[in-house]
């Protein structure tokens, strides 16, 4: 299936809407002391599109982040990659072959390859995965997931990780619509709150590196309030300044701050890659929430992405369904108000390279499940 596999320079990583599969993201990680590699490969078009056996080959690539977890072991992590998505019946075999190709390119102490797959979930398309009211029930038990995903593979070595690192459920807005149509696609309350924020005098501006401390104050407050993973401020400095302009897959990054009477009330990072704008990080104050600053902030990001030529906007992370007990339920309510289509991906899958060490590592993850961005 996979042909002409070779390592290449990070600068040659192909243009893509997936932030985490760009040269930009590799540069962010490099500045944080984390290395990465990129590889090219070809796959028969018939195994991607199903259009027959004479469709030639499709060339694609993958960015792999190398994470040292202790002095003796590392993990090869593929964030939202590979981008190329085979037909369902070829998924297991494809990922198995890709893993074996990568084996020779990653460090010898690497115990596994973890794929945070952006491929659409098998179970997002099946009617019996939903209640009569249309609420998604989620994927089946882990063993059943593995049985289906390993179909067609040789060694049945793909394992469903106990935790996802990046969000596996999101919402995409279609930015090909005009602004009035986008507003009309929203829930009435969301549309009202966007207008209310303007009437309340909330303004949104594009900030620079000199405003990172203002962002970080809001971000730290939000992290403590919601109990999610806390990056240090240098991570955000790297995100804001690592444009990777001299590569095939650069990014435009905007730090947006919503404020009232010079008081910052909400802020976010908008990252534009390819044809997509992504709401990558967000933060808000617990004060003056009645001013609806978060709604003004999102509307500014949506319209700015549209102005920059994007055709889609990624809300980046919601709960899998409207379960009030889910820690991301608030994000589900807020983000679904903006309309768009819910997209459910496969989440994290592992390809163990050292079974014994991997099993110990997987056991420790059972007691530390959670969501954070990477």
Contact between 355 and 171 under an 8 Å Cβ cutoff? The reply is: no
Residue 262 shares a structural domain with residue 147: no
Residue 372 lies in a domain: no
Euclidean distance between CA atoms 41 and 78, whole angstroms? 15
Residue with tokens 């949104």: 204
What does the pLDDT read at residue 50?
62
Structure tokens at 87: 């037909």
Q: Where are the alpha helices (DSSP H) in the chain?
A: 23-31, 91-103, 142-149, 179-184, 188-199, 212-226, 233-241, 293-307, 329-336, 355-365
Residue 64 shares a structural domain with residue 175: no
Mean pLDDT of the region 18-38: 96
Decide if pLDDT at 372 tops 80. Answer: no
Residue 356 shares a structural domain with residue 251: no
Structure tokens at 255: 């730090």
Model-level pTM?
0.93
* Largest separation between any pair of C-alpha atoms in the chain: 64
Residue 196 shares a structural domain with residue 158: no
Residue 25 lies in a domain: yes
Residue 374 lies in a domain: no
Residue 301 lies in a domain: yes
Q: What is the C-alpha end-to-end distance of the chain, expressed in Å?
A: 30
Residue 178 shares a structural domain with residue 266: yes
Q: 230 pLDDT band (50/70/90 cuts)? A: confident
In this structure, what DSSP letter does residue 198 have? Answer: H
Structure tokens at 298: 């999102």
Residue 186 shares a structural domain with residue 310: yes
Residue 24 shares a structural domain with residue 79: yes
What does the pLDDT read at residue 332?
92
- Report the DSSP beta bridge partners of residue 259: 203, 264
Residue 370 lies in a domain: no
Residue 56 shares a structural domain with residue 107: yes
Residue 149 shares a structural domain with residue 192: no
Q: pLDDT digits over 90-138, tens only?
A: 999 999 999 999 999 999 999 999 999 999 999 998 999 999 998 999 9
Structure tokens at 202: 């909330």
Euclidean distance between CA atoms 21 and 321, whole angstroms? 27
What does the pLDDT read at residue 363?
86
Residue 307 shares a structural domain with residue 204: yes
Residue with tokens 């549309």: 191
Phi, psi angle pair for 225, to nearest 5°: -65, -40
Contact between 174 and 318 under an 8 Å Cβ cutoff? The reply is: no
Decide if pLDDT at 374 tops 80. Answer: no
Residue with tokens 């240098």: 234
Count of structural domains, the chain:
2
What does the pLDDT read at residue 52?
55
Q: 362 pLDDT band (50/70/90 cuts)? A: confident
Percent of the chain with pLDDT over 90: 81
Q: pLDDT digits over 245-291, tens only?
A: 999 999 999 999 999 999 999 999 999 999 999 999 999 999 999 99
| CATH code, domain carrying 324 | 3.40.630.30
Report the chain's mean pLDDT, rounded to a whole number: 93
Q: pLDDT digits over 156-174, tens only?
A: 999 999 888 999 999 999 9
Euclidean distance between CA atoms 357 and 307, whole angstroms? 49
Q: Which domain holds residue 48?
A: 3-167+345-365
What does the pLDDT read at residue 285?
94
The length of the chain, given as a count of residues: 374
């Amino acid at each position: 299936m996979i042909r002409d596999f070779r390592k290449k320079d990070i600068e040659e990583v192909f243009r893509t809407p997936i932030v985490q599969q760009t040269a930009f993201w590799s540069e962010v990680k490099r500045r944080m002391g984390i290395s990465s590699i990129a590889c090219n490969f070809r796959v028969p078009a018939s195994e991607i599109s199903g259009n027959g056996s004479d469709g030639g080959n499709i060339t694609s690539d993958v960015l792999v982040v190398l994470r040292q977890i202790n002095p003796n072991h590392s993990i090869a992590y593929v964030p939202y990659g590979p981008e190329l998505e085979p037909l369902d019946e070829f998924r297991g075999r494809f990922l198995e072959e890709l893993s074996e190709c990568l084996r020779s390119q990653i460090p010898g102490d690497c115990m596994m390859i973890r794929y945070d797959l952006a491929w659409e979930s098998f179970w997002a398309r099946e009617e019996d995965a939903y209640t009569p009211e249309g609420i998604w029930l989620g994927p089946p038990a882990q063993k059943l997931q593995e049985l289906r995903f390993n179909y067609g593979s040789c060694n049945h070595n793909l394992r469903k990780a106990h935790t996802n690192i990046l969000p596996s459920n999101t919402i995409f807005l279609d930015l090909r619509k005009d602004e009035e149509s986008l507003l009309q696609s929203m829930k009435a309350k969301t549309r009202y709150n966007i207008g209310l924020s303007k009437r309340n005098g909330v303004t949104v501006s594009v900030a620079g590196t000199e405003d990172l401390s203002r962002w970080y104050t809001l971000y730290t407050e939000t992290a403590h309030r919601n109990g999610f993973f806390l990056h240090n401020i240098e991570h955000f400095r790297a995100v804001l300044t690592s444009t990777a302009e001299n590569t095939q897959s650069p990014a435009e990054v905007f730090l947006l701050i919503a404020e009232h009477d010079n008081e910052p009330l909400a802020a976010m990072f908008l990252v534009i890659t390819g044809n997509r704008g992504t709401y990558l990080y967000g933060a808000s104050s617990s004060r003056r929430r009645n001013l609806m600053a978060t709604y003004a902030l999102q509307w500014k990001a949506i319209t700015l992405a549209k102005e920059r030529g994007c055709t889609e906007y990624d809300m980046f992370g919601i709960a899998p369904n409207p379960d009030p007990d889910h820690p991301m339920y608030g994000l589900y309510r807020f983000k679904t108000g903006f309309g768009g289509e819910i997209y459910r991906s496969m989440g994290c899958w592992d390809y163990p390279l050292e079974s014994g060490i991997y099993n110990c590592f997987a056991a420790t993850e059972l007691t530390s499940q959670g969501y954070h961005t990477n």
